[in-house]
Amino acid sequence: MSDAILKAWHRAKVAAIEGAVFRLLASASRQSDRTLIWLTHLLERVPRTEFQRQQLRQLRHLFEHKHPAIETARRAFTQLHPNYQRRLISNLFVGATWLGEATRREFAEREGFRPPYLLAISPTMHCNLRCIGCYAGGYPWQDYLSFETLDRLLTEAKEMGMRFFVVTGGEPFVRKDLFDLYEKHNDCSFLIYTNGTLITDQRIEQMVKLGNIGPAISLEGFKQETDTRRGEGVFDKIMESMDRLREAGVLFGFSGTVTRHNVDAFTHPDFIDLMIEKGCLFGWMFIYIPIGRNPDLELRPTPEQRDRMRRWSLGVRRSKPIFVADFWNDGCLTGGCMSGGTLYCHINYRGDIEPCVFMQFKSHNLVELYQQGKTLKDALNSPLFQRVRCINRQDENKLRPCPIIDHNEWLAEVIQETGAQPSYPGAETIITDLAEGVREWAHEYAKLADRAWNSGEYDFFKDPLNWATTYDDPEALKQFRKPDKSDQAAA
């Protein structure tokens, strides 16, 4: 078959997949659960890989068990502007997850290691707010990644199979040229961490036109907690921005950093109900990590409070029409730590390529790599990233996955072995001055996490066949498969 015919066939197939997924999700807002279940059976014949079929089975499982996720899909398909509905399906579900997976596998076969699923990028550290304890404060603000570097980076990342990018900082909305980037790469999805105070009507108009930008607005709980950390009047501004985003049909959510002082606010039943009422379709939770300008061990939630947040996110997913995930306590959703290019890595405002937003060490700089005629690939395959990938999934308990806060000694070893440098003066304190306090805390939390992991609640995630990160490697799948009747017959 000629190249042209192959390409045309591929395009037709992609269009068919997109159309089918679009019909499935769009119909979620009006069809009965039985029809939706039937549709998943039909769709299961479309994908090429076992991994993708597994995802459809998981979707069916949700429909069959009347999971609130169906309600979230219904909300999305009644609330979102059609541009968002289309981009969500073609960029995120089909592009980043399904087609991207095929490209990532080809890359892995060629290069000997898997590229990540997504990149987190901080194009600038400039911010219009001065929040207490924010890690952005550890950086000078005058430098930023140029448009050309970002453009080249996205182009390169797409060739590796990545179509999903997290834009953080700093406050990304201080840079107007980033909208040109989102437009130029309109086959990608962008999750933007923002303080929510610079979302003008003009920005909302641009977002609706593009349909590929999802703001995650940071708050600290209710008005009192948010204004105390972020500044007077910030909470009201956020509420007002959320109203305008919802009315315009923009996909957006919230993000929260849990400290010792705001756990009660986040876990109060009124909080999540308020976020749903405001129109949030997702929420990302983080816990305070002692890095940045003035790292403060006392700001961290206690081990009991962290455990409470774990139970909270589990409970919200089981009962509310919103998708909420916790960056640390939901390690089971991603098969463990995502750092070092396992599923993601971070590029800071200067181009330093860090294994994780919170693991602020580097061995390569993107701008320098480009000057030397090299690429992102060289950093992903560096000893630092290779070593991080070796250690970051060693703990079977996916409720304490983190080399920074749960296994701090592993991180210290990797940094020492590879000679990686702190990204800014003081970033090393997490493995030096603060290490003892971090490790004691980890020791206490481990007792709670082990109890939860062994409680039976997480058994679904102990079967690697069920992990979202189980790829379609026939040999790997074979060793994980539980013996069934066909195995007995074969024996």
Residue 79 CB, nearest approach to ligand SF4 (Å): 30
Q: How far is the CB of 406 from ligand SF4 (least distance, A)?
A: 7
285 scored as a contact of ligand SF4 (CB under 6 A):
no
Where residue 170 falls (left for φ over 0; alpha for ψ -120 to 50; beta otherwise) is left
Nearer to ligand SF4, 56 or 380 (CB): 380
Distance in angstroms (rounded) separating the CA atoms of residues 363 and 345: 13
Nearer to ligand SF4, 158 or 389 (CB): 389
Alpha helices in 163-302 (DSSP H): 178-184, 201-210, 223-230, 234-248, 263-267, 269-278
H helices of 320-365, where? Answer: none
Nearest distance from C-beta of residue 411 to ligand SF4, angstroms = 8
Using CB under 6 A as the binding rule, whether residue 327 contacts ligand SF4 is answered as yes
Residue 401 near ligand SF4 by CB under 6 A: yes
Binding flag, residue 402, ligand SF4 (CB under 6 A): yes
What HEC string does 180-209 produce?
HHHHHCCCCEEEEEECCCCCCHHHHHHHHH
Residue with tokens 């701008």: 367
SS (H, E, C) 434-489: CHHHHHHHHHHHHHHHHHHHCCCCCHHHHCHHHCCCCCCCHHHHHHHCCCCHHHHH
* CB of 358 closer than 8 Å to CB of 291: yes
Question: Residues 213, 404, 427, 438: which binds ligand SF4 (CB under 6 A)?
Answer: 404
Would you count residue 153 as binding ligand SF4 (CB under 6 A)?
no
Scan residues 406-435 and list those touching ligand SF4 (CB under 6 A): none
Residue window 358-397: x/- pattern of binding to ligand SF4, with contact defined by CB under 6 A: xx--------------------------------x-----
- Cis check for the bond before 214: say yes or no (omega within 30 of 0): no
Element (H, E) at 410: helix 408-418
Q: Closer CB to ligand SF4, residue 215 or residue 403?
A: 403
User: Does 341 interact with ligand SF4 (rule: CB under 6 A)?
Assistant: no
Q: Of the listed pieces 207-215, 271-279, 296-304, 356-364, which binds ligand SF4 according to CB under 6 A?
A: 356-364
How many beta carbons lie within 10 A of that of residue 155, not counting itself? 11
> To the nearest whole angstrom, how small is the minimum distance from the Cβ of residue 155 to ligand SF4?
25
Q: Which residue has the tokens 């003066």?
A: 425
68 near ligand SF4 (CB under 6 A):
no
Stretch that binds ligand SF4, among 163-171, 176-184, 311-319, 400-408 (CB under 6 A): 400-408
Q: Which residues bind ligand SF4 (CB under 6 A)?
A: 327, 337-339, 356, 358-359, 392, 401-404
